Structure 1
């Protein structure tokens, strides 16, 4: 019976990994796909490769936190309870993926495991508190770092990078398989700067995929690892294969949402946000904290737009109360890529576009709603099951 439950548990873990692939590919490569830099197929391949690299290198620290430290007694990770935990994680993520919204896999997984610990009286509130504190602090760090970049460095970066979206039907970067050895092929008439910009966008997507692997592999395999019946490395391999399947299938929906529907975020801004968010996620994963990339990235976008909007005001004027700066995410569209950066205080507030010029309000509302609903489904569903369903009683 135990072997049957183990097989079922691994299958459910594969289902979770499948949905993680669907939920995380969009944030990583949505900008590159939306700008027609690479195809969805190449995005899936790159996501799979770099997710695995992150999972096998830094990922074990987060697996250990969720599998061994979040609850006092890992004995509650029976095969029966594991199937239920993974079912709620995978089921909740599937709801988000079906809606085309990349939900927070970390919040969804921590919620289900914490619900098991709370229902059985084995939840380590100190560990949960540390995780939650970092969930609050990390987006704030992202906001302020992005704000500084937006005020002092973003226009210069924008002028230097000069990444423009491709109008061609063919992607900027593709793979030529006509020869014995496949090689990269770039769009016709693409100059050196356009090629460099395209490679930068792809490289940032790879960095995001790596950071996703460091944090999200635990969400699929931590409950099974907590039983001690399967070693970590085989579980990481199984989880990574499942993520790969999700990348090549259901991820197409989230790629459309983040690449085309939700925002017209300039590629330069997307790069800055990705670097900041990925750096924070990798740092948290290094100390064993499962992090929500989507929440950190969202606050980084707001911070970047706010910092860009403050360039209309000099610090000396602000200190005297002569100028007031309003948050404007739309400020990120205030200049085109490659345009000469304006000096601080040189612009008027009327030159800053509204946020509605940057975000699609209806799609943004749907994303925000699902970002909260998906972890709630996982947490509440798991708690009610472990607390009141006799078959899962402890």
Structure 2
């Protein structure tokens, strides 16, 4: 059973690396600063370094900071990881972007609810960081964008020196973001395994770091391509601001052992830049509503799945199933209605634009 647990954790690490590649080096690749293969190599290298040298604190949090390590049997660690992976799989089918950090924390909370062994103070700190870090990224992006709009900086950005330095700076900040992702995200795959005593922290961050890096290198090309094409309109200085802001926040959170959602932090930085350029209208866009949906849905789905599977498979208690099914129907119903509303709004907007052109 230990081997099965390790295989599930490492498979999860591969997928974390694949999805994290675009988040870190997508801007550098999309702007043409670095080729695809080199972008993936740099991402894999930086992700591994971040995991190996700085991933230990978040591993400790997920291994014994949310629930006691005594609660983490091998069977429960398998269910926790399976619930997180299944949540991501269901979300991908429905087109809902979820945070790996949030689904793993949700799965662990589900296990803690079964045995009533949750450290509430630690959970409160984690949830507080989930809300504060994207908001901080939003504010820092606004400040940075306003600074870049000052005339001296505008003049500096047009010089030949800036033209040569900005591409290099974009690669460095992209690698810094990948490094921070390794610090924070490797724990999502190996934290429950360390809590169950299947592996030590040292072997967990080594193996987890390697497989996150392999995932970025060998499975991240498609995600990198998609993300790169989306962000080609972002200026180099904006890309440095986004990557640098997100990486700094995630690194600080990782030092204190707090798992945070890098995707939401990066998205919040982009929204902050958009806020300076477009004003309040950017806050009404679909991406903002999607951000709030992810905050709510990510931990809730995995928590419910973990709680249910432990009750059925380990405790042989089938009574909670009715309640759980009701919760899942409610959650997916809200998401479906929100998606339908967004689609209708987009359709209405297109119709109005066509009428204006005619």
The answer (yes or no) to whether the contact 1:214–1:285 under 8 Å persists in 2 is yes
* 1:214 alignment partner, SS class: helix
Q: Which runs of 5+ in 1 are unaligned?
A: 164-190, 310-325, 331-354
Change (3 A) 1:31 1:256: same
Q: For residue 207 of structure 1, report the CA deviation from its aligned partner.
A: 0.5
Match of 1:70 in 2: 66
After superposition, what is the alpha-carbon deviation per residue over 1:25-56, rounded to whole angstroms, capped at 9, x for unaligned? 11101111212222222222111111121112
- Larger gyration radius, structure 1 or structure 2: 1
1-structure distance, mates of 2:221, 2:93: 10
1-structure distance, mates of 2:209, 2:158: 35
After superposition, what is the alpha-carbon deviation per residue over 1:277-306, rounded to whole angstroms, capped at 9, x for unaligned? 111111111111111111112222222332
How many pairs are equivalent? 316
The answer (yes or no) to whether the contact 1:162–1:197 under 8 Å persists in 2 is no
Match of 2:355 in 1: none
Q: For residue 194 of structure 1, report the CA deviation from its aligned partner.
A: 4.4
2-structure distance, mates of 1:102, 1:50: 24
After superposition, what is the alpha-carbon deviation per residue over 1:42-100, rounded to whole angstroms, capped at 9, x for unaligned? 222111111121112221111111111111x3122111111111112233335566789
1-structure distance, mates of 2:249, 2:191: 22
Which one of 304, 307, 311 corresponds to residue 383 of structure 1? 307
The answer (yes or no) to whether the contact 2:74–2:198 under 8 Å persists in 1 is no
The answer (yes or no) to whether the contact 1:201–1:271 under 8 Å persists in 2 is yes
The answer (yes or no) to whether the contact 1:100–1:257 under 8 Å persists in 2 is no
| Superposition map of 1:305-344 within 5 A | 305-308=274-277, 326-327=279-280, 329=282
Match of 2:101 in 1: 106
| Superposition map of 1:241-390 within 5 A | 241-261=210-230, 264-308=233-277, 326-327=279-280, 329=282, 374-390=298-314
Q: For residue 10 of structure 1, report the CA deviation from its aligned partner.
A: 0.6
2-structure distance, mates of 1:15, 1:97: 16
* 2:280 alignment partner, SS class: coil
2-structure distance, mates of 1:34, 1:100: 23
Change (3 A) 1:80 1:138: same
* 1:327 alignment partner, SS class: helix
Higher alpha-carbon deviation: 261-270 or 49-58: 261-270
2-structure distance, mates of 1:125, 1:220: 22
Change (3 A) 1:63 1:26: same
2-structure distance, mates of 1:377, 1:81: 17
The answer (yes or no) to whether the contact 2:166–2:236 under 8 Å persists in 1 is no
Match of 1:19 in 2: 15
Q: For residue 223 of structure 1, report the CA deviation from its aligned partner.
A: 0.6
2-structure distance, mates of 1:371, 1:38: 32
Change (3 A) 1:161 1:10: farther
Q: For residue 239 of structure 1, report the CA deviation from its aligned partner.
A: 0.8
Higher alpha-carbon deviation: 257-266 or 97-106: 97-106
* 1:38 alignment partner, SS class: coil
CA RMSD of aligned residues (A): 3.0
Match of 1:83 in 2: 78
Q: Structure 1 residue 148 and structure 2 residue 117: aligned?
A: no
The answer (yes or no) to whether the contact 2:51–2:208 under 8 Å persists in 1 is no
Which one of 114, 122, 139 corresponds to residue 119 of structure 1? 114
> Which TM-score applies when normalising by structure 1?
0.71
1-structure distance, mates of 2:290, 2:223: 13
Q: Structure 1 residue 47 and structure 2 residue 43: aligned?
A: yes
1-structure distance, mates of 2:106, 2:256: 19
After superposition, what is the alpha-carbon deviation per residue over 1:168-218, rounded to whole angstroms, capped at 9, x for unaligned? xxxxxxxxxxxxxxxxxxxxxxx8754433212211110000110111111
Which one of 30, 35, 46 corresponds to residue 34 of structure 1? 30
Match of 1:237 in 2: 206
Q: For residue 250 of structure 1, report the CA deviation from its aligned partner.
A: 3.0
